Amino acid sequence: MLTSKQRQHLKSLAHSLKPIINVGKKGYSESLLQEIDSALLTHELIKIKFLEAALSETDATLLRLCLELNATKVELRGHVATLYRAHPEKSRIKV
């Protein structure tokens, strides 16, 4: 669990990031899970954009992704969510 200071720090780091994953009408799937897992392993802090077709299930999909991937939701603003998961061996982001 992140404190409010840690969350604010991650928000400031994520401000300049562009969404690297788009969630479409299929919503949650194994391929989406693998793609996000790979992105979190590489970047630690990522943005995910939910397209119009997936908006109705945004909260449920995001919650399921966080639980499955052991990630933390930093922020959900509009259609864009920010996720964080520290690298298991060498974390580049100091929280």
pLDDT tens sequence across 64-81: 999 999 999 999 999 999
Q: What structural domains does the chain harbor?
A: 4-84 (3.30.110.60)
pLDDT tens sequence across 47-60: 999 998 777 888 88
Cα Rg, the chain, nearest whole Å: 13
Q: Sign of torsion, CA 3 34 29 12?
A: positive
pLDDT tens sequence across 27-42: 888 999 999 999 999 9
